Every structure is written in C-alpha cells, then in structure tokens.
Structure 1
C-alpha cells in the first residue's frame, strides 16, 4: 500500500477521535471519519461558501485556507484554486478532481484529530474557522445541470407492478435487463428545509369521463438516495461500468415528491412529467465515497446476468440504514413510518451511470442521479406511502393520533440515513420538507 493510500485509509480509522467533543458522540452523524461537504452561510457572514461538517460545527474552508491551514496541490493551476472555497456551490471544487477532494479530506482529518494542537489549541483560529451548525443556513450544495431519476429497487417495482398490473407479471421484461430511468427537472431540486407546495394538475376520477383540474389528492414521498457526478464524460464517450465509481463525488438523501393521481393519468405513454417536476428535495451534506468505503457490501444477485457493458467486479452496494418520519402540523410527535436500507437496491450506482452514458450521453459535474424509491422486503421497509398504505387501502396509524394514507397539508416529512460503524456512524443528516396548500 502506498503512503498516500495509507494516509487516506487512516481517515477512516474507527478508533480515530476529534478534539471536538460533539464529533465523538456515538450517534453523531458527522464524526471525524465522515467529513461531508456542503454550502453554508451565517449571520456574521452572509456569503454562501464551502464548509465541512464535524460534530455540531461547520469548518469554514474559505477561512481555513485564508489562514494558511489548507492547501490544494496536485498540479492545480493557481488561478483555479484561488477562491474555490469562497463560492456558492461545490462545482468548482469538485471540478479539481479526486486527488484534490482526497487531499482536503486528509488535511482536515489531521487538523481535527484529537492529538493535533494546531487548531485545537488556537482559540482565535477556531473562532474564525468553526461555525456552530445551529447558527448556519444550509444551501443547495451544487449547481445541478441535469437530474435523472432511476427505478432500481426490485421490491418497489414489484409492489407497483402488482398494484397496477398483473401480480404474476409485476416486472416488465426490460426491468431485469437495464436500470430504468427518466430525465427529471433539475430546476426544481431544492435543499432540505424548503417548503413544498402541493401541485395542481389533471386528475382522472373513476366516475368521470374526462379529467378534472385540481389539487393533487394523493401526494407522496419517495425515499431515495442520490449521487453527484464528480467527473463528466464527453458527448459520444460512454463511461465503462468498472470506471463509473471514479466519476462519483458522493451521495445525498433524496425525496422525489410524487403526485400519484396526476402521475397515473399522465404517465402513459412517455412517463412522469408534472407528477414529479414540482419539487425534489436533497439533504445539504454530500457524503463522499471515501467516507462510505468501510460500509461497502455486495449488491443483490442479478438474474439474468447483465449484458457485458453492465457487469462489474467486486462489491458495489453500501450498508446505509434509512428512515422516514412523518410529523403532522401542530405537534412535536413524529412517527417513523418506514425503515429500510440502501443495500437492497438491485441496480448499483455504477450500473446506473454506465447505462446512462452507453448511448453517448454526456454528463457534467454536479449532475444529480436519483436511486429511485428504496424499498425492502418487508411491509414496514417500503419507501413510499403508495406501498406502505397499498394505494390508500391500509391507512398508517400515527403516534400522535389519527391515520394517513397520503400526505395532508402541513405534514412534515423527514428522511434520515446513516452507516453504522463500531462506536461511530457516518451519517447524511436529514432531508426535510413540509407541505403547503395548493395554489388554485
């Protein structure tokens, strides 16, 4: 193992601890082994800029670099690296490449280590570069040129196919041959904490000959993750499945809000449109693949064997525990309505990216790729209300009283996710959205 590889591996050492006590709490999402990237601002400096989460604080990378404690090496042009952390998106930093991402990760891991006095014992420097998370405002972490949503959970596809088609033939013939997806709307991707307005659209009621226009009556969530493209490809130059991981910067939680009744009427023959375009919420922190590496596991067995361009050796799933919580308006009581795991996904991120580009489609830094709804094998592990209530036939009981079939105005939905290590966890934080009434 090279010295670089050893230094990178040391950033994931389960025994590693930070001098920031909050980062060492076993249930903290942001220990020193994580170090996710995001964009934040705060009252004393309203400019959005790049930060890294550690415990209950944010490391201001622009301030840290200005203080001379953060280098960007690897042959990067000086002009390119001058203000890369003082920008309102991560795109410029991501464009510098994986060596730059890893170099920053390793420097931060050393600076935040419990045994390193450089930042630990310099109160004035800590005051400049550490921002309390509770006083910060988080922003969309990347400028998103394009957004694609996949349909890669076999359990979810089987449930939906059984519900609306023949249960004996729930999966269409192409589903087991390639990652099914559609191009979504990048302009309506919002950061966690942004309220979402109930969409209007055409609804086809069973007892009406023609559709009506009105507010969505079956508003739903889709529990997903998403990955951010870290290195694009040229038009006409596909990304090989074995190389796809090198093109991924990191992962976020993703809620692809869905208007099920609008979707049911519009999706034939070309798929979702207005039913999905009104909002997609992502978590503010991007967890890098380097942080997730210890939690890599084997993906489900794929039968039939994929075509050659979709084959890859090794393990390409990740053990990420996922939850959905629903909190009605006017109460502090949230009900956990689903628990599942990313490791159930049939098609991997590498396969999704390889299939996306096999036609020659180009991708760009900051592109967002949604996993598709993540459902597990048991009824309490389904990743949508459509499945959890079986299209409204089986209402969910809430801890605060009452029931839900689909989302009502004022409901707040929270997605949470983490990888559980020995005495620590690498978490994503939360992905939160509250539903506002429709505008007629």
Structure 2
C-alpha cells in the first residue's frame, strides 16, 4: 500500500509504476515521471535519492527528456529503480511521505500534465504474430486452403515501419490521401482513404541494444525488453490493398501509429505471465525457449462518433492469443546481425482471438468475414471501416488480473480521427 491515495479501480497502483514523459504549465520542460494513482512522481525532482549501487552513478538519466538513457542501462538498473520506487512510495516509508516541501515539488496531477512519446524511437518494426489474425486475413485474400503463407509457422513475420509518424495518445490523425483502385476494371484513382481501419496491438521498447553483426540469443532476449505500451496501427485498407505487392505496406501504414504514453515495465507484467502457445511445427533451435513470456492481458476497443451518445465496445481480445512471443520476435529480428538500439519499438501485429469478429482486433476484418459489428446507437449501420464523419474517437484499453488481483494497465489510449477537409496541391 502507498501513502499516495490510489482508488480501488485505478490503473496505476503501486504494483504498476509505469514510466512516461510529461510536462506541466508551470514547467514546460519534458521530463520523466512514474504514474501512481492520479498523480505523477517527477523523477527529475527526486533523482538525488537514487543511491543504489548502479543508479547512484547514473542519476542524470532521470533528468533527460526521454527514457532512452534509462532504457539503455539494462535490466539490473531497471530492477533497482523499481524496488527503490516501490519502497519510497510505500505507506511505511517516511523519506518522501513526511517531507512536505519535497512532496509538493515531486508530485503533479495527471489531469494537469501534457504527455509525450516516452522515448525517441529510432526504428519501428511491426510483426504479424497472431495466428488467428493471419488466418482470417489469409482467408480473405487467398481462400481457406492457402490462408497461411508457407513461412508463417516457421518464423515471426514482420516489416520495417515508419518511426517518424509514431505519435502519443491524443494526437489527431488525419484521414490520409493516396492512390487506390476500388474497381479492378478501372484505372486507379487519387483521393482520401475511404477504408480507414484500426489495429489493436501492443508493442515493447528495446532496452540495451546489440552490436552490428552480433545476434541476441533467445536465452538473453528478456534482458533487452524494457516494457510494453498499447498501440493502434492505423491502416488505410484501400491504399494498402493497391500498393502492397510486391514489397509490403507503405503509405497505407506510414501516416500514423499511436501508442499509449505510459510504458509498463516487464517486472509489473511478470505476475500475469502464462504458458507460451503450443507451436507446431517446432521452431528452429534459435527460436526455442521454455520461459513463459506471453501474458494474460485483456484488451478492448470502443468507438464513439458523430450522433452517438456513448461509446460502443466493438471488439475484445487477449494478448495471450499471440503465437510468436516477444523473445522470439526480438531474437529473430537480430539473428542476421541487425543492431537494435535503446528506444526501438517492436509491435505485436493485430491481436486477434478465437471465435467471432468481435475478437478480431480490426474493423474491416470483422465485416469482411461477414460477422459485422453493429454500433448500438447507430443500429442500421455496420462497421466495415471508420466512417467519413468529421470526428471519431477510438479507445483502446487493457486490464490484467481477476477479482481481487492488483490492476496493471497501460493507460487508456484516446485517439481522434479528423476528416480531411482540403485537397493537397499536386505540383
């Protein structure tokens, strides 16, 4: 229990303590904080209190405008920081609890803070690691007999995304312009995307990297994973469909990717680890591991648009349905000698579950398999993409643990979609 008041249903109890970057009106400098209850503990204010064997020599990492330097210190430093913060914030510890002046400087309400990307993202990779999702999409494009490509069960498929357009929750996303071919019997056309979709994903930040040419063995992969965020991989399906052959996603994906502002450390998630999925055929030896490294994380998406009095939950899924684990993703990413760096972002791909369309993690896929999701307050309408109304809000949320278990969450992710109101001049 913490001396900081924490509501029973708070996403941010002392068991969580996610890291983020924030500023306030009184101090516009971005700085690192930890969420506790409805407060943010400013680590730049208390950095002098980190006197452990590792962090005593690296206190300045908490004075940086991003988490990259702290991420790069490695697992021992992260564990030291977490243990110290949990002790500092506990109800029995007087060091911060009884120092009124320090408490006034160190705590800020989340409601008054502006949040930023947690790290400078040098590179972003998106995987395609849900068997349910890959199968559903494969059936749509290739039929049931050829749903999975021959390589899918042997390696975690991924592509190199656009890091510059990764944005923090709350950043407006414009409906993209592009080239598409809605009618196969006619030439392609240029215009605003008409099939804008969401993809419910999670992603992890890389901690220490590896040298160019030196792969990360799977037995060491966990040492390179800092923590997780919730992610929406916005997708322009009509643009994507026309452009993706033969090199894969480009403009259909690169216009925006949204992540939650808070990074949940892996130590906060470990109590919710579950057995890895059975993989058949067995992967090659460099991808095999016994350590449980998938997690029981409940996920949901709700949409609210023009004319709707309240948001409608349109899908639910769980991270435990992922076929390829984060350890396998990171190891495979580096197996050719690719060098990863602190702050790199590796995403799961759409997290779909078994059963109906409501477990599929996208809007378009739901309609494409003819199990359409009706929006309750717009009953005649079925959701096959995000409609071209002026403003839609998608809320992605997470929760862990059953009744009585400590809550851990990545924080709600709120997005805006703004209809493109003007054309782009063509030179």
Q: TM-score range by the shorter chain?
A: over 0.9
The equivalent residue for 1:232 is 209
Structure 1 gap ranges (5+): 1-16
Residues 281-300 of structure 1: CA deviation (Å, up to 9, x unaligned):
00000111111110110121
Of residues 362, 379, 383, the one that matches 2:361 is 383
- Tell me the secondary structure at the aligned position of residue 343 of structure 2: coil
Of residues 374, 380, 392, the one that matches 2:351 is 374
The answer to whether the Cα contact below 8 Å between 2:132 and 2:352 also exists between their aligned partners in 1 is yes
- Tell me the secondary structure at the aligned position of residue 373 of structure 1: coil
- Tell me the secondary structure at the aligned position of residue 425 of structure 1: coil
Residues 211-268 of structure 1: CA deviation (Å, up to 9, x unaligned):
1011111100010000000011111111111211110001000111001111111111
Asked if 1:257 corresponds to 2:234, the answer is yes
Of residues 261, 277, 282, the one that matches 1:284 is 261
Of residues 108, 111, 125, the one that matches 1:131 is 108
The alignment of Structure 1 onto Structure 2 pairs a total of residues equal to 416
Matches within 5 A, 1:268-417: 268-329=245-306, 331=308, 333-379=310-356, 380-390=358-368, 393-402=370-379, 403=381, 404-408=383-387, 409=389, 410-417=391-398
The equivalent residue for 2:179 is 202
The answer to whether the Cα contact below 8 Å between 2:34 and 2:42 also exists between their aligned partners in 1 is yes
Greater shift in the superposed pair: 379-388 or 264-273? 379-388
- Tell me the secondary structure at the aligned position of residue 341 of structure 2: coil
Asked if 1:436 corresponds to 2:418, the answer is yes
Structure 2 gap ranges (5+): none
The answer to whether the Cα contact below 8 Å between 1:72 and 1:100 also exists between their aligned partners in 2 is no
Of residues 17, 20, 28, the one that matches 2:4 is 20
The answer to whether the Cα contact below 8 Å between 1:48 and 1:86 also exists between their aligned partners in 2 is no
> In structure 1, how many angstroms separate the alpha carbons of the residues matched to 2:303 and 2:173?
15
Of residues 94, 99, 103, the one that matches 2:80 is 103
- Tell me the secondary structure at the aligned position of residue 201 of structure 1: strand
Residues 3-61 of structure 1: CA deviation (Å, up to 9, x unaligned):
xxxxxxxxxxxxxx112222xx3321111011110100011111100000001100000
> In structure 2, how many angstroms separate the alpha carbons of the residues matched to 1:412 and 1:263?
22
* Inter-CA distance 245–82: structure 2 relative to 1 (3 Å threshold): closer
Asked if 1:55 corresponds to 2:37, the answer is yes
> In structure 2, how many angstroms separate the alpha carbons of the residues matched to 1:101 and 1:330?
46
> In structure 2, how many angstroms separate the alpha carbons of the residues matched to 1:59 and 1:368?
25
Asked if 1:184 corresponds to 2:175, the answer is no
Name the TM-score, length of structure 2 as normaliser. 0.94
* Inter-CA distance 135–308: structure 2 relative to 1 (3 Å threshold): same
The answer to whether the Cα contact below 8 Å between 1:29 and 1:425 also exists between their aligned partners in 2 is yes
Matches within 5 A, 1:207-218: 208-218=185-195
The answer to whether the Cα contact below 8 Å between 1:329 and 1:412 also exists between their aligned partners in 2 is no
Residues 307-340 of structure 1: CA deviation (Å, up to 9, x unaligned):
1111011211111111111011365511111111
Residues 362-415 of structure 1: CA deviation (Å, up to 9, x unaligned):
111100001000000021211111222227x55422233243321124111111
The equivalent residue for 1:41 is 23
Of residues 401, 416, 423, the one that matches 1:420 is 401
Deviation at 1:86, TM superposition (A): 2.1
- Tell me the secondary structure at the aligned position of residue 118 of structure 2: coil
Name the TM-score, length of structure 1 as normaliser. 0.91
> In structure 2, how many angstroms separate the alpha carbons of the residues matched to 1:322 and 1:394?
19
> In structure 1, how many angstroms separate the alpha carbons of the residues matched to 2:405 and 2:290?
30
* Inter-CA distance 232–130: structure 2 relative to 1 (3 Å threshold): same
The equivalent residue for 2:53 is 73
The equivalent residue for 2:136 is 159
User: How large is the Cα RMSD of the aligned pairs?
Assistant: 1.6
The answer to whether the Cα contact below 8 Å between 2:73 and 2:208 also exists between their aligned partners in 1 is no
* Inter-CA distance 51–72: structure 2 relative to 1 (3 Å threshold): farther
